[in-house]
Amino acid sequence: MKEGYLERIKLSQLRSFVAVAECGNFTEAALSLNVSQSAISHAIASLEEELGVILVARGRHGATLTPVGQSILSHAQDIMQSIDKIGHTAEAAKGLEGGQVRIASFRSVSTHILPAVIAKFRHAFPAIAITITEHQTLDIVEQQLRHGLADIGFTYLPASSDFDAWELFRDDYIVLLPPSAKGFHDPITWDELKRYPLIVTPAEDGCRILLRREFAKHNQTLNVAFEVREDSTIVSMVGQDLGAAVIARLAAQPIPPHVQVCRPPIPLERTIGVVTLVEAMHTPAVYAFLDALQTTKLEPLKWA
């Protein structure tokens, strides 16, 4: 072990190590920290070189900690939590004359909900910086909070027990049908919906999980034709007669006039909530933003 190695260990190396341990693979760890996978690999390799031990066993099915890695993990987590507390204490000292609010969100909330809240907040607290990171899965939103990279997150409720959560609004699901669709009811029937190949989000997406669960309750399966990540792409593909989609109303906006809309065979909705980490030390700026969220009048899109 090299003399003075402790002075050369970087916080970024420890943060990468903790992320890999919690995510179970380098890809998810990189996504959770908003860095490249090669940066994660380099950080882990550098940390192992400084310590003179192997911390992570890399395999075909992901990354697992070695016994010494398991022993070191809790200490690394304690260090990262202490660093976060130092940062929060410094931010708290700045009061509301500065500081920042870091938000982890997903596209439909960032597009249709946050702008109005931020406008109100910025008018009251112009010196507070706001950063928004959009993520493709809700798991990554939650990881951002757990890793101390975000103060406030938006996810589906119910949330896990390590979060304080409150409901923001409920977003109903609609069926988007191609321009050529004819002879369907509103709500559409199961048999009518089966006529169309479905355009859906990937299997790990929160909306896809909800649809799969609710369809199964009624002994129905998803007739999947395409898997698409972006909501706007799904809407465009429906508009080109490539299939139908069952999608949250907020995610579907804006809906082109030639795309037909009806209600699903059963009422479906997602509950969108605001979450913060239970153990986190929040700054006055974060509390002020949470207050702005609670007091801003939102206009959820209702069925006309």
Same domain? For 117 and 252 the reply is no
Question: At residue 302, does pLDDT exceed 50?
Answer: no
Range of the domain at 19: 5-90
pLDDT at 300: 53
What single-letter amino acid sits at 227?
A: E
List, for residues 50-76, the tens digit of each pLDDT value: 899 999 998 777 789 999 999 999 999
Same domain? For 148 and 278 the reply is yes
Same domain? For 219 and 253 the reply is yes
Question: At residue 18, does pLDDT exceed 80?
Answer: yes
Does residue 304 lie within any of the structural domains? no
Does residue 303 lie within any of the structural domains? no
Mean pLDDT of 147-156: 93
pLDDT at 294: 87
Cα 177 to Cα 221, 231, 238: the distances in Å are: 18, 15, 6
Under the banding of pLDDT at 50, 70 and 90, the label for residue 151 is very high
pLDDT at 304: 36
Pairing of strands 152-156, 100-105: parallel
Distance in angstroms (rounded) separating the CA atoms of residues 118 and 80: 29
Q: What is the CATH number of the domain that holds 245?
A: 3.40.190.10
List, for residues 97-135, the tens digit of each pLDDT value: 778 999 999 988 999 899 989 998 998 888 899 999 998
